[in-house]
Amino acid sequence: MHLASRHQNNFEKFRNQEINANTKRQILHADISKRYRMNRNQTVRANTAFKKKGWPTRGGIVNSIVQLPFWLVVTVFILASLFVVMHLIIPGIRWMFRRKIKKVMHDVDDRLRLKLPRFQLTKREVLIDRLTFDLEVMEVAQKVADERGVTYDEVNAEVAAYAREMVPSFNPFIYFRLGYRLARWFIRAFYRVRLGFIHKNSLGTFPKTTSVVFVSNHRSNLDYLLVTYLASQDTAMSYGAGEWARIWPFSLALRSAGAYIVRRNLDDEIYRKMLQRYVQMATVGGVPHGIFIEGQLSRNGMVNDPRLGLIGYITRTLEPDENRDIVFIPIGINYDRVVEERTLVENAETDFRGSSSFFVLGSTLRFIGSQIWRKLTGRRIGFGMACANFGDPISLRAWSKARNIDFSSIEKPEFFKAVETLGDEIMGRIEEIIPVLAVPLLSTVLLEHKEAISDDILLTEAKKIALELRTKGAHIGIEKDGIETGLANGLQLMKRRSLLENDEAGLLSIVSEETALLQYYANSIIQLRSRLCKTS
């Protein structure tokens, strides 16, 4: 009995607890329902009032929508996008490029005969600051400010603008990967490229303290690509590009390849001093220079008088008590067909210098487009051969020591005379190594005969001149394929270009309108023959 009574009591206790829990739940649900009905009634009353006043109505608390202004949403989206770009995408791209650059530098370090100097790898902003705040530049800037009657800060702003225009931003990845491949593709798309002759000392191993300067004649604006392509396995050259290179996108591409932009005809004391100091800093830093000693494209096909400004800047850096040397390597360039031939022959004063950016960019795109169209339609003629020879280098230390000249301290009159003598010797070596190609040879024979001539006699006479030049030390650019084959290919090129015509007897003669053009090409052989006759 006692156990049954105990179970009965526990059952009653649990039953009461369950009833109490159900009661609490019912009370809670009733309270929630009451609150919902109250809120709904309030919403209905509010919507009724809003409708009377013409205001937009709103839903209940549970179904209400938060509305944001469109400008706020756009602003938040732009800020979020900028955050992602600046803190994620751009750092990722920089890391990727730094990794590629380091890999390229590691790959080319063992291959290059002339190693990449630290100056060439210095950040562009650092070089700009070094040039802007160079002591000699600052002295000239202060002098000009006093002469103009303006503050130094105004002149310094001009100095900073010149520095940003002039200083390159060398990128090994762009130079050795993109630049080299672009130069190789572009040159080989138009020409059969040949490295004709290399003197045993011209691309040898120089001491780290040696500054190397490649000096060449200037036949075409493609000379940059040709020499870069041929010498890229040995060094990375820094060229002084003309004013046309200030035009975008040429300026961006050339600066990334290490070129510095030169305004050759700008008579400004500040600019000349800045150009001098940059060239001298780069020379002392061991940057291999590339200089077109004529300063402009050859208008007559010859190697013309030199412009020795850059040569003078470079020679001033040679100190007699230092162990450093400067070596000038002459380069001779010649083509079977020069891209700018019509412009150079028809108007000797026409050049890219001073032309608008639309003219330069438009003419370049028109030329490339016309060649692509000719290629697609099967009417492309081709440009024949492009050849470069590397001659016997000149050691400036040995050259100056033999003549007892100290370029660092010599007075201006004697300095100019010494630089002129050095320039004449460099020019002479360039003239002696101009490549002998088929079109210049054939043009020479046609102009000398002045009358119609048969194909066989033309080829025989041209071969005779080539062999004569070879015995005197000239370098025949067509010799690898055989002189006869090279001359025959050159003759076919001239016929396809309609430079020659056949008479009724089948004899060849020059088209009267093309006489000046053939004279342009023959001048390279005429000058070479004259030079070799003097030295032999």
Tokens found for residue 507:
């004899």
Helices (H), ranges, 257-404: 269-284, 309-315, 341-346, 357-377, 396-402
- Which tokens hold the place of 411? 């007075």
Answer for the pair 453, 485: CB distance below 8 angstroms, yes or no: no
Contacts of 231 (CB under 8 A, 6+ apart): 203, 214, 237
**The pLDDT value given to residue 435:** 93
Query: Do 344 and 296 contact (CB within 8 A), yes or no?
Result: no
What are the percentages of helix, strand and coil residues in the chain, rounded to 5? 60, 10, 30
pTM of the entire structure? Answer: 0.77
Q: Position 283: which residue type?
A: T
Would you state the pLDDT for residue 55?
55
Q: Residue 226, exposed/middle/buried by CB under 10 A (0-12, 13-18, 19+)? A: buried
Q: Torsions phi, psi of 92, nearest 5?
A: -65, -40
CB atoms within 10 A of CB 361: 16
Q: What angle do the packed helices 152-166 and 135-148 form, to 10 degrees?
A: 130
Give just the sign of the alpha carbon dihedral 198, 203, 205, 207: positive
State how far the Cα of 435 lies from the Cα of 342, in Å rounded to an integer. Answer: 22
Three-state SS at 383: coil
Distance between CA atoms of residues 44 and 59, nearest Å: 9
Q: How far apart are CA 399 and CA 425, in angstroms?
A: 11
Residues in the chain with pLDDT values less than 50: 1, 60-63, 352, 354, 356-357
The DSSP bridge partners found for residue 289 are: 213, 238
How many angstroms separate the most distant Cα atoms in the chain?
A: 150
- Give me the pLDDT at residue 115, please: 72
Q: Which of 525, 427, 533, 524 is nearest to 471 (CA)?
A: 533
Task: Tokens 């572009």: give the residue.
Answer: 186
Instruction: Give helix 483-496 / helix 455-471 axis angle, nearest 10°.
Output: 130
The pLDDT value given to residue 369: 72
Burial of 62 (0-12, 13-18, 19+ CB in 10 A): exposed
Query: For the chain, what is the total number of helices (H) and then of strands (E)?
Result: 21, 10
pLDDT of 365: 65
Residue 403 · residue 353 · CB < 8 Å: no
CA distance 520 to 470: 22
Alpha helices in 378-476 (DSSP H): 396-402, 412-432, 438-449, 455-471
